[in-house]
Amino acid sequence: MFKDSPILVGLEIGTSKICAAIGEENERGEFTLLGIGQSKSHGVRKGEIVDLAKAQEDVRSALGNAEEQAQVTVRNLFLGVSGRHIEGFNNTGMHPVASDDRLVTPQDVADAANNAKAITLPAEHTILHTIRQRICVDGVEVSDNPAGMLGRKVEAHVHVIYGNSLRIQNSMRLVQSLSIEVNQPVFNGLANAQAVLTPEDKENGALVIDIGGGATEFVFQQGQAIRHSGVFALGGDHLSNDIALGLKINIALAESLKIRHGSAVVAAGSQGQMVPLSENDLGLSHREVSLEHLHRIMSIRLQELFELIAERCAENCLLDEARAGVFLSGGCSHIPGIDTLAQRIFRLPITRGTSRNITGNSATLSHPEFATAIGIARYGGMRQRNRPRPRFSIRDVLPFLR
């Protein structure tokens, strides 16, 4: 497989698992998933690598599984990145219309967009993505290409996503150490939106929230524009921690209780119900814990997380514009009642996000924890489709080669 091959590979280095997705796109941009490989993650905390050797072993294993399924050899991939160091914000760049006759040119638009990228970042931070939101001429929103219109000033509104360059490089170097090239690092949140939203959802405006083991990413997408994005270093591991502390049990037992009896809302009928901790769990048979207490602990933490995201979106009145509602992905979207809790906080329709507009093994596509890796591969496809064409075609160059 060479760099321009239509095979697309997305890799998520998550806190709970490493996941590699391999797919291909046809000329109409339709994506088929060919293979998915995963491995338990041992070297990542809160979405960031903390043990390179362990993470490298897990990545090798996940990629090996995916390669075997897809029957390809991976030489390059798109790499998902997450972690608290990643931030998203909106910025505006301005440029006066240069020509005397006030005719807007493509160069004016490009200059305004470049000015929007000219920002001072904290030390050792780098821009991951600059996504165009809208273009205005003299304060009026116009099409993406206003060349030929008359005006005095062009404004480009963009969403900038940036992160700590050293931490991003840590993930990239890990992949490169396996002799695999990284085409581009991709913020996981963007990838989630690529996987779970249909073009109609994007047009209508949607908030996508992926709750993993150690981090939660959110993205608000409207049309092709990202209106808001961010990461909270909070996830399913924190729920297990809270349960362990609250019920005075060890983490492994808390994790197992969360999966077997967990709920994001205090379930009707849970009052007074006790869950016995089986001999397998503790080696003790006489202990039991309150189901209501378990649900309440989970509900408090998840409510806090949703409120943090709702607050961020409220800053720009975005929730009023989420006509497609909220999409939940990541392992924690399995938690019973999570849609009810999200509905209470966001007051919007809630969809549990499975990967859509994709062909392949439907059982695999329905797993919300695979959405990120699949979305990274899809994002890669979109990038390659939109890559600027070379200014000279091979036909132009041929005479000089003879």
Query: What is the full DSSP assignment across 106-143?
Result: HHHHHHHHHHHH--PPPTTEEEEEEEEEEEEETTEEE-
- Is residue 335 a contact residue for ligand ADP (CB under 6 A)? yes
The residue count for binding ligand ADP (CB under 6 A) is 21
Q: Name residues whose C-beta falls within 8 Å of residue 196's C-beta, 6 or more positions apart in sequence.
A: 208, 327, 329, 351, 353, 354, 355, 356, 371, 375
- Is residue 83 a contact residue for ligand ADP (CB under 6 A)? no
C-alpha dihedral sign at 389, 391, 396, 397: negative
Q: Name residues whose C-beta falls within 8 Å of residue 27's C-beta, 6 or more positions apart in sequence.
A: none
Q: What is the dihedral of CA 273, 278, 283, 288, to 10 degrees?
A: 0
- Is residue 216 a contact residue for ligand ADP (CB under 6 A)? no
- Amino acid found at 155: E
Helical packing angle, 236-247 and 251-261, nearest 10°: 110
Q: Which among 220-228, 253-261, 345-353, 394-402 is the span making contact with ligand ADP, rule CB under 6 A?
A: 253-261
- Is residue 262 a contact residue for ligand ADP (CB under 6 A)? yes
Residue/partner pairs of 24-31 with CB below 8 Å, 24 or more apart: 25/381, 25/385, 29/381, 29/382, 29/385, 30/357, 30/359, 31/357, 31/358, 31/359, 31/377, 31/378, 31/381
214 binds, among ligand ADP, Mg ion, none (CB under 5 to 8 A by kind): ligand ADP
- Is residue 194 a contact residue for Mg ion (CB under 5 A)? no
The minimum distance between CB 196 and Mg ion, in angstroms, equals 13
Tell me which of 93, 205, 212, 235 binds Mg ion, using CB under 5 A.
212
Site string for ligand ADP, 283-322 (x = CB under 6 A): ----------------------------------------
Q: What are phi and psi of 229, to 5 degrees?
A: -160, 160
- Is residue 330 a contact residue for ligand ADP (CB under 6 A)? yes
The minimum distance between CB 172 and ligand ADP, in angstroms, equals 18
217 binds, among Mg ion, ligand ADP, none (CB under 5 to 8 A by kind): none
84 binds, among ligand ADP, Mg ion, none (CB under 5 to 8 A by kind): none
Tell me which of 137, 369, 376, 377 binds ligand ADP, using CB under 6 A.
369
Site string for Mg ion, 367-386 (x = CB under 5 A): -----x--------------
Q: Where on the chain is the footprint of ligand ADP (CB under 6 A)? A: 14-17, 41, 212-214, 235-237, 255, 258-259, 262, 330-332, 334-335, 369
